[in-house]
Amino acid sequence: METHHRIAVLCALPQEAEPIIEVLHGIERSSRYGTDLVTGQLGEASVVVCVGGMGKVAAGAAAQMLICEYHPDALIFSGIAGSLNPLLEVGDIVVGRSLVYLETNNDIIAECDPFLHTYASDDRLSALACQVLGEQGYRRVPSLAETDDIATAVAATDNDSNRRYTLGTIATSDQFNTDPDVLERTRRVWHGDCEEMEGAAAAHVCAKNRVPFLAVRAMSNRCGEAYADLNRHQSDMTLAAQNAGAAVRAVLSALHVAQIHHA
């Protein structure tokens, strides 16, 4: 018997959501609790896409709303991020094996349910994301947690024209960080492959509710660039949003071969 999944896709920005919305059938649009929502169908997956806004509070609130209102079998965060891993260029992708809060006392946070210092994407969904990225022509490269010799790894990929992805760490910050010392600490302490402003909060809420989670982030820039400068090259942001969206669409289309269970 076929399984039909209700999947929630959360994005911070409209341009991150549009590559997913544009392939849905039978869409209906609404606005609730300060978010924009689109429901529709993609293959066997019944999908709700939410534009929740930027920042941890917005992401956490939107994730909880989606869980309460739509009871999804899984929640996927799709969007753009700044690269911290030197192997990842604009358009390349991080599948979030783990997600961590920056500027937060994680020991204190971990005293409460779900009692975690960091948060994780669901193993089955991560494996499915890696599979579809390989099918789309991406080549897997080491995460910062997987290599101590990043310079050699960079040299080995200098003439590699393939798109790349890694299964790595997404660092979630309240800041758009540009300070080299702050960014280097994120690489050194947390092995952060990219930095953004929502993922760990959405993953935290999903862990608290025992809802399988997946984060897919495409690189729109290298961390260290000022936010005002990023806004001057919209084409890179568009490319990143399209690549993340294409990966998530492929995951949604392939869900008929994946088993998703609440923990």
Q: Are strands 139-140 and 25-32 parallel, antiparallel or unpaired?
A: unpaired
Worst-scoring range by mean pLDDT, 8-12, 150-154, 236-240?
150-154
pLDDT for 2 equals 42
pTM equals 0.92
Q: What is the pLDDT of residues 56-113, one digit of tens each?
A: 999 999 999 999 999 999 999 999 999 999 999 999 999 999 999 999 999 999 999 9
Rounded to a whole number, what is the largest CA-CA distance in the chain? Answer: 54
> How far apart (Å, rounded) are the C-alpha atoms in residues 75 and 122?
10
User: Is residue 178, in this structure, part of any structural domain at all?
Assistant: yes
% of the chain with per-residue pLDDT over 70: 90
pLDDT for 255 equals 80
Number of domain units in the chain: 1
In angstroms, how far is CA 150 from the centroid of its own chain?
Answer: 23
User: Is residue 263, in this structure, part of any structural domain at all?
Assistant: no
Question: Domain of 231: which CATH number?
Answer: 3.40.50.1580
Q: What is the pLDDT of residues 99-118, one digit of tens each?
A: 999 999 999 999 999 999 99
Give the CA angle between residues 23, 31, 17 to the nearest 5°: 30
Residues 62-81, buried b or exposed e (16+ Cβ, 10 A)?
A: bbbbbbeebebbbbbbbbbb
Strand locations in 132-197 (E) = 139-140, 164-172, 192-196
Average pLDDT over residues 167-190: 95
Fill in the DSSP letter of residue 255. Answer: G
The two tokens of residue 79 are 């969007």
Average pLDDT, the chain: 91
User: Is residue 241, in this structure, part of any structural domain at all?
Assistant: yes
Structural domain of residue 67, as residue ranges? Answer: 5-254
User: Is residue 259, in this structure, part of any structural domain at all?
Assistant: no
